[in-house]
């Protein structure tokens, strides 16, 4: 090879090396720029809070499934108990509560639940709460003979005065192995006298069965309800209290709409003879056989609650065969309970509340009950 050719080849190799090196540098620069851009996009992506999805949380205070007292949950989330999820191109508010954790007062159960900050009086009320929701999970364990096993309360009316009883609890309950569960609602009597130990609930089926349908043994289950609601299936409820009467409406796309009415200021359970057969079966045998005040909840301030109030717990059924489930709790370890299905999870898509002019502050209730105080 002559000297000119050698010089040309050398120059060509030097130029090629320079172009490759420059190209690599440009590629690296572009890659780094793209990565930086993605990071920045993630950093500036807005968190969707529950209060963005259902903008009525300034009317409520929140307690979490670990006993934390949040207060008004504006621009708040907790990835274990209260946050948002995207489902079917819509945002949902997630409420989760394990079978065991921190509980308060006389309750055996954990909850991630909102409590209304104002109270109203049934006789003069004109108050309403609505919600659209779906149940994602109820406890995978629990004694099937215990009526509360495998259930969660998703909406309530609670009294802030007197015995602090509950004229309304809306339940969802599904046994393991069943595709469909039941929606039903409870009325708890406002027990006459100072002793509240005789209080009891009366359960009314909406879709599926009522509270009283249980298994024959701790791990055998009744027949699956044919007209029940599946996990993940949407339904709505409307609760209105006006002039002493509670009106309920339940709506589901695949089921007939159901409506109910209950007088909250005049009792139908004034004597022992008024105790219904369902109660005779469930509550009387364990000593809960009280009668109600003649004017029921008249004169008592009431308020709405909404969320996931898990009704399954680890207490022995020997304590109370209606409310103590004997379920798995892993000693209160929340992560272990979530891993094997021992929790309640409820997703809410919409909610609304209207409060009458005569509603007053409910801070007295929150002060008395530390579990609802910020």
**pLDDT number for residue 311:** 98
**pLDDT number for residue 2:** 45
Q: Would the pLDDT of 233 be above 90?
A: yes
d(CA 173, CA 180): 9
Tokens of 155: 């909406």
Tokens of 373: 């105080």
60 and 26 belong to one structural domain = no
21 and 67 belong to one structural domain = no
- 89 or 233: which carries more pLDDT confidence? 233
Structural domains counted in the chain: 2
- Per this entry, what is the length of the chain? 374
31 and 130 belong to one structural domain = no
**pLDDT number for residue 17:** 45
Tokens of 3: 């000297």
Q: Would the pLDDT of 367 be above 80?
A: no
103 pLDDT band, cuts 50/70/90, is low
Q: Would the pLDDT of 50 be above 70?
A: yes
307 pLDDT band, cuts 50/70/90, is very high
34 and 74 belong to one structural domain = no
| Each residue's pLDDT tens digit, 243-261 | 999 999 999 999 999 999 9
172 and 210 belong to one structural domain = yes
Q: Which domain holds residue 264?
A: 50-372
Contact (CB, 8 A) for 198 and 191: yes
Question: CA distances (Å), 109 to each of 3, 29, 97, 323, 332, in order?
Answer: 93, 56, 9, 9, 12
Tokens of 351: 């909610």
146 and 18 belong to one structural domain = no
Contact (CB, 8 A) for 173 and 150: yes
Reported pTM: 0.87
Per-residue buried b or exposed e for 8-21, using 16+ beta carbons within 10 Å of the residue's own CB: eeeeeeeeeeeeee
341 pLDDT band, cuts 50/70/90, is very high
Burial of 208 (0-12, 13-18, 19+ CB in 10 A): buried
**pLDDT number for residue 8:** 41
3 and 149 belong to one structural domain = no
29 and 141 belong to one structural domain = no
* Strand ranges inside 226-312, DSSP E: 229-230, 235-242, 245-252, 255-263, 302-310
d(CA 131, CA 54): 10
Contact (CB, 8 A) for 229 and 258: no
**pLDDT number for residue 155:** 98
Q: What is the mean pLDDT of the segment spanning 23-50?
A: 54
115 and 128 belong to one structural domain = yes
28 pLDDT band, cuts 50/70/90, is very low
Task: Name which of 64-68, 145-149, 284-288 the model is least confident about.
Answer: 64-68
5 and 105 belong to one structural domain = no
d(CA 294, CA 191): 10
Question: CA distances (Å), 119 to each of 62, 105, 159, 349, in order?
Answer: 16, 20, 8, 25
249 and 340 belong to one structural domain = yes
Task: Name which of 111-120, 210-219, 363-372 the model is least confident about.
Answer: 363-372
- Single out the residue of 59, 56, 63 nearest to residue 369, CA to CA: 63
**pLDDT number for residue 38:** 52
Q: What is the mean pLDDT of the segment spanning 68-74?
A: 94
**pLDDT number for residue 89:** 86
372 pLDDT band, cuts 50/70/90, is low
Looking up residue 54, the CATH number of its domain turns out to be 2.60.120.200
Give the number of other Cβ atoms within 10 Å of residue 31's Cβ.
10
305 and 228 belong to one structural domain = yes
288 pLDDT band, cuts 50/70/90, is very high
DSSP 8-state secondary structure symbol assigned to residue 98: E
């Amino acid at each position: 090879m002559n000297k000119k050719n050698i010089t040309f080849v050398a120059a060509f190799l030097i130029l090629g090396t320079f172009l490759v090196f420059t190209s690599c540098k440009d590629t690296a620069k572009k890659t780094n720029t793209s990565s930086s851009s993605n990071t920045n996009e993630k950093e500036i992506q807005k968190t969707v809070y529950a209060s963005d999805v259902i903008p009525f949380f300034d009317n409520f205070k929140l307690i979490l499934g670990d006993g934390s007292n949040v207060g008004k949950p504006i621009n708040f989330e907790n990835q274990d108990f209260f946050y948002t999820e995207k489902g079917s191109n819509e945002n949902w508010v997630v409420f989760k509560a394990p079978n065991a954790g921190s509980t308060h007062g006389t309750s055996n159960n954990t909850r991630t639940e909102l409590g209304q900050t104002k109270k109203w009086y049934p006789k003069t009320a004109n108050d309403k709460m609505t919600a659209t929701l779906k149940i994602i999970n109820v406890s995978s364990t629990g004694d099937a003979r215990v009526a509360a096993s495998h259930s969660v309360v998703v909406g309530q009316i609670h009294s802030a005065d007197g015995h602090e009883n509950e004229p309304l609890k809306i339940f969802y309950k599904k046994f393991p192995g069943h595709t469909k569960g039941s929606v039903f609602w409870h009325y708890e009597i406002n027990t006459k006298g100072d002793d509240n130990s005789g209080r009891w609930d009366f359960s009314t089926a909406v879709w599926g069965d009522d509270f009283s349908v249980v298994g024959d043994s701790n791990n055998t289950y009744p027949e699956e309800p044919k007209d029940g609601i599946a996990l993940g299936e949407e339904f709505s409820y409307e609760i209105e209290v006006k002039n002493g009467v509670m009106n309920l409406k339940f709506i589901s796309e695949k089921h007939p709409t159901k409506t109910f009415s209950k007088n909250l200021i005049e009792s139908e359970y004034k004597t022992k003879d008024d105790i219904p057969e369902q109660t005779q079966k469930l509550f009387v045998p364990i000593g809960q056989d009280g009668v109600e005040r003649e004017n029921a909840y008249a004169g008592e301030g009431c308020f709405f609650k909404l969320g996931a109030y898990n009704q399954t717990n680890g207490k022995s059924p020997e304590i109370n065969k209606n409310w103590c489930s004997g379920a798995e709790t892993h000693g209160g370890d929340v992560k272990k309970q979530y891993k094997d299905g021992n929790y309640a999870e409820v997703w809410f898509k919409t909610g609304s509340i209207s409060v009458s002019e005569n509603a007053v502050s409910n801070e007295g209730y929150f002060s008395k009950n530390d579990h609802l105080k910020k």
